[in-house]
Every structure is written in C-alpha cells, then in structure tokens.
Chains A and B, each alone.
Chain A
Amino acid sequence: MIRFVTSRLFRAGLTVLSVMTFAFVVLRMSGDPAQVLLGPDVPQNVVQDFRDRWGLDDPIWRQYLSYLQAMMQGDFGLSMRDRSPAIDLVMQRIPATLQLTIPALILQLAFGIPAGIYAALKQGTLADRSVIVAAIVGFTVPSFVMGLLLVLIFAVTLGALPSGGASSWQHAILPVLTMSIGGIGVLARFSRSAMIEVMGAPYIRTASAKGVSWSDVVRNHALPNAAVPIVTIVGFMVGSLIAGAIIVETIFSWPGMGRLLIVSVTNRDLAVVQCILLLVAAVMVVSNLTVDLLYGWLDPRLRQTTSAH
C-alpha cells in the first residue's frame, strides 16, 4: 500500500513538473510580454528596463532555473501587470470558480448517473431511447453554443435570468447549467453502457438464480460492479470541468480563475498563467489519485492484497 502511494505520488510530481516546464517554454516562445504589456508606442529604454527587471533577456534555461528555485521557496512570482504576487491574484479568483464547478459537478453526478442507470434497466424502451438522445445532444453541442442558447432562451426571450455578471446567486444558474449539461450527457451514456454490461454478466444471472429479488440484484450485485468504470469517467470529468470553467466564465463574465487565465494569457502575464496551470495540474493529479484509491476500494481485484490465505 505504501509503495503504491509513493509510486503514485512520484508520478504525480513528475506530471506536475512536466506541465510546469511545458507551460514555461511555450509561454516564452510564443510572444513577448514587454511588447504586449507596454504597447507599441513606448520608448526603447522603458522596454529595455522592463526586460531587465523581469530577466527576459537571460537565456531561457537560466530563467527556468530561477523560476524553479523560486518555486521551491514557495515564491510563485509577481504579476507583470501590477507586481502583486501571482498566487494572491489566483487565490482571489478560486472561490468564484468553485461556485460554478462544484454545483456543476454535483448536478452531473446527481442527474447523469441515475439517468444512465435508469436507461440501462429500461433498455430498448422509449425511456431508454429518450435518455440516449438527450445525452447525445448534451455532449455534442459545444458548451459555448449551449451557453449562448441558454442565454437566448432564459435571459433574452424569457428575461427570467441574468445573462452575465456575478452579483447574486441567480447569476450562477445559467453558467452552472452550461457547464453541467455536457457532463450529464457523458455520464448518462457511460453509466448506461457500464450498467448494461454488468447486468449481462454471469454473476447477475447467478444472483437471480439464487432467488435474490430484482431490486436487490440491481442494488447489491450490479451497482457495486458498475461503480468501477463510472468512477473512472468521473475522474476524467474533473478535467473537463476546468476547461468548461474557462469558456463559461468568459461567456458569462464570471470573475473566476478561467477568466483570469484568458486575460493573463493575452497579456503574457507569465507568472499568473504559470500559477494557474500549476494549480490545474495539481487538481488533475489529485483527482486521478483519488480515482486510483477509489478503485482499490471498489474492486478487490485491483487491491494490492497482502491478506493471508
């Protein structure tokens, strides 16, 4: 168990480091912060001053090493725009992003999984087909289209909900819906096929043959087996939630991390972008780790057993 966790932690660390390195290199190769931030009409000596201060003329490997060194000491760098610590800027935005992502994840789990399982148990019926069609629509329509559609219906036509901003809880409704619909579709479809597969397994027939009632077969024999593949996909969906947050916060002018990322990338605000990417990588790594641990808990075959025979 300890070996398992250490090896996973090591791999997690490696993943985070690769993301950081990749982001560092790509950001520095793809545009000059001095140009973007200062604009074209600034005198040459001001630009040079700026470049010196941020060490932009150093060879990239030296910049990288000093970046790593600072990171080791918990220094995530300063924003080039207002020279406040990048980490503070990012931290300020996290609650707003969580206000969207957590309800969206809850909606996805609460609707996607039951819909898929229900469809599987009613396989071939009209109810099943309706769930499939709704799910396909849910995950094939891109979230920016879905967002605009919802705005068109609920904000523009019905005037029932605000179309942007973050001043009340009503403002969160459309962004949360936009973020969750695709995931509900994915989860419904995936849970359906996982459940159908499990319901066809020999041990389900055994359970029925021994007299277990249908509802107990589903609850006690099928669901615990279907949970294993479903947990995997939920792990993946945490990643797509973050991607969704970037788009949705932009559409709905929601003051979260996603919008900060877009603004900072446009401005080549290197420290802020790196800080956000690091955080995203960390979230992904943690969710994968959680999935791995859940696996072992759900499926005894995947446990590193040392139990005596």
Chain B
Amino acid sequence: MNNLVEIRNLRVAFDGVPVLHGIDLDVAPGEALGLVGESGCGKSVTWLAALGLLPGKASVSGSVYLQGQDLTGAPRQALERVRGKRVAMIFQDPSSALNPVIRVGRQIIEALRLHRGLAGTAAKTEALRLMDLVGIPDARNRFNLYTHEFSGGQAQRLMIAMALAGEPDLLIADEPTTALDATIQAQILDLLITLRHEMSMATVFISHDLAAVAQVCERVCVMYAGKIVEEGPVAQLFDTPRHPYTQGLFDAIPSLSGPRRRLVPIPGTVPDPRHLPTGCAFEPRCARARTFCTQHRPELLPQPEGRQLACAYPVPVAQDAVQPEEEYQ
C-alpha cells in the first residue's frame, strides 16, 4: 500500500437522498490531483466526508484509508488527530472561512499548538515564518489584526499558512481561488504550486477552472452527479477526452493553445440528486447516448492507455479533438 489516501466505494446520502454513488479514488504521496465537475457533483462532499466534517444528517459508507488507517467510522479523537495534521483543507471563500472575532495570528498559533505543540514565543516565531512563507507582507505588524482587515487574497494566504501549520501530507484545496480576482487567482495558484514542491505535500485541487487544474495538477478526476466518470493524466484527458462529459467541459472553455474553437456549453443542467436518470446520469445531456445508456449505469473501468472511464460509447481515441464537435450540432 503505497498510496497516501485510498477511497473505496465512498457513498454519502443526505436525508436518504444519495449524492455520492460509490467513489474510488487514490492519492499518491506528493502528487497533485485535480477534481473537476459542475457545481453539485459532489467534489466537496467527497473530502468533507473523508474527514468526517459533514453534518450529522449525512450518512456515509465505504472506506477512506489514510496510509492504511480507515477514517470512516473512526472515533472523533482519531479524526481530530488527522485533521490539520495529516490532511489539511482550505475553502472557497477565505474571508468567511476565518473566524471574524479571533486575531489571525492566534488562529495560526492555535494550529501550531495543536499539531506541533508549540507555545509562547516559539509559536509566534513559527506563525510569523508561515505568514512570510505564504507572502503576507509585514507579517509582524499584521499578526494581531482581524480577518476583515485583510483582502480576500490575503485571507486565502492566511488560510494556507494555517493549513501548513500542521505540516500535512495532503492539502485539500476546495476551489481556493473561485472567490478571488483573476490576478490574485494566479498568485494563489503559483503559491500552491511552489509550496507543494517545497513541502513535498500531496495536493487535491478542486476547481471549475480547467486551465488552473492543468497548471497545478498531474492527474485529474472528472466527476458527474456523484460519480467519477473519467480519470487520468492531465495531458491525456486534455488532448483526448473520451467521456462525452469531459469533452463537453473542455469545449465549454476557451482553449489557451491550439486552434480556436467555438465555445459549446453542455446542453441541459445537472440532474437533481433526488431524480437521477435510471441509466447513465449524463445520458439526457449526451449527444452520443443510445438506448442502452438509458438502461445501464456504466462502471468506471481501466482503459488500455492508462486512464479510467465510465462510458458505454466513449469518444473514439483516434478521432481528432475537433471533429466530435460536429456531432453536437
């Protein structure tokens, strides 16, 4: 077992409505994995469930192994030792993710005390070092300020500093740049890339922004309606997406390199978890779907070229990336 995290058949339901339908996912030590998919497909829930952070009304089954230790159903104390220490998580809206009534320096020190047993001047020195590391200018004088006295980008840097405090093996970044301006986004992405290499920590990067995923990650998982539909190396999925949904995601963004393509949004919307189609969840929106797809849910299966795919009629490999667009018309 040389994976850092192995998620097996993870299922989550809220008030009896299933929203995750059996996720299998591995994270190797030090790797950067992207998790993409439209809003509501279960990207956040996957990792909140893994860390036991979902509200009580959520029922979770399956296993999440962290270097062999199963986290699902682990006692609260065991989870508390994992959170922040082995696996840290940062969130979308940094300004509301930091406590508004506690000085930011103290919030970082709290993590240092919990995970590294630091107190007093040692803790403060280390907190200041972390603030410097993530690029908070003039950390010493801003140590005692409150969250609202920082911009969104600075607040996200503080979140990252706090996440680094436990020297985690894995950082889950849940849409860390979505709430920020474009230039700030780029800075935060650079910071995440640098830190990952410096601290040799694995990163799971959850995002809608495929360009950002390509920049940060080596491997990417595409999720749709609570399932992984395609998984593989970033270059492979970008060059030859095989799941029609993956292809649809790429067609919906302006391509940075290569020939200019027309932007084609995926028709229709994400299905309501309470009324999923009986067959493939993507079938109603899929141009390649056939009758078979309305009856059968495809399994996520390994493909010869190394990726995993859950589709009965995938985009053929040999096909040029431009051609399938015709089929959408």
Which residues of A are in contact with B by a Cβ distance under 8 Å? 124, 201-203, 205-214, 220-221, 224-225, 228, 298-301, 305, 307-309
- How long is the Cα–Cα vector from A309 to B154 in the complex, in angstroms? 13
Is the Cβ of A209 less than 8 Å from the Cβ of B96? no
The 4 closest A-B pairs by CB, nearest first: A211-B84, A210-B84, A211-B83, A300-B146
Neighbour of A213 across the interface among B80, B93, B98, CB < 8 A: B80
**Most chain-B Cβ atoms within 10 A of its Cβ — which of A124, A207, A211, A300?**
A211
Q: A206-B98, A210-B84 are in contact. Are A301 and B162 (CB under 8 A)?
A: no
- How long is the Cα–Cα vector from A214 to B83 in the complex, in angstroms? 12
Task: Give A222's nearest chain B residue, CB to CB.
Answer: B99
- How long is the Cα–Cα vector from A206 to B88 in the complex, in angstroms? 10
Neighbour of A206 across the interface among B57, B81, B97, CB < 8 A: B97
B96-112 interface code vs A (CB 8 A; 1 in, 0 out):
11111110000000110
Task: Give A205's nearest chain B residue, CB to CB.
Answer: B53
**Most chain-A Cβ atoms within 10 A of its Cβ — which of B77, B80, B159?**
B80
Interfacial chain A residues near B91, Cβ < 8 Å? 202, 205-206, 209
Q: Does B115 contact A (CB under 8 A)?
A: yes
- How long is the Cα–Cα vector from A308 to B145 in the complex, in angstroms? 10
Q: A214-B76, A309-B142 are in contact. Are A209 and B84 (CB under 8 A)?
A: yes
Q: Does B7 contact A (CB under 8 A)?
A: no
Which residues of B are in contact with A by a Cβ distance under 8 Å? 48, 51, 53, 56-57, 76-77, 80-85, 88-89, 91, 93, 96-102, 110-111, 114-115, 141-142, 145-146, 148-149, 159, 162-163, 165-166
**Most chain-B Cβ atoms within 10 A of its Cβ — which of A203, A214, A224, A308?**
A203
Interfacial chain A residues near B115, Cβ < 8 Å? 211
Is the Cβ of B53 less than 8 Å from the Cβ of A201? no
Q: A202-B91, A211-B114 are in contact. Are A225 and B145 (CB under 8 A)?
A: no
- How long is the Cα–Cα vector from A106 to B251 in the complex, in angstroms? 65
21 A-B pairs within 8 Å (CB atoms) are namely A124-B56, A201-B96, A202-B96, A203-B100, A205-B48, A207-B99, A208-B53, A209-B84, A210-B88, A210-B165, A211-B83, A212-B80, A220-B102, A225-B101, A299-B100, A300-B100, A300-B148, A301-B146, A305-B149, A307-B149, A309-B149
Chain B: minimal CB distance from A4 (Å): 18
Neighbour of A301 across the interface among B57, B142, B148, CB < 8 A: B148
Sample of 19 more A-B contacts, CB < 8 Å, known A208-B83, A209-B88: A201-B96, A203-B100, A205-B91, A205-B97, A206-B98, A206-B162, A209-B51, A209-B83, A209-B91, A210-B162, A211-B84, A211-B115, A211-B166, A212-B110, A212-B114, A298-B101, A301-B100, A307-B149, A309-B149
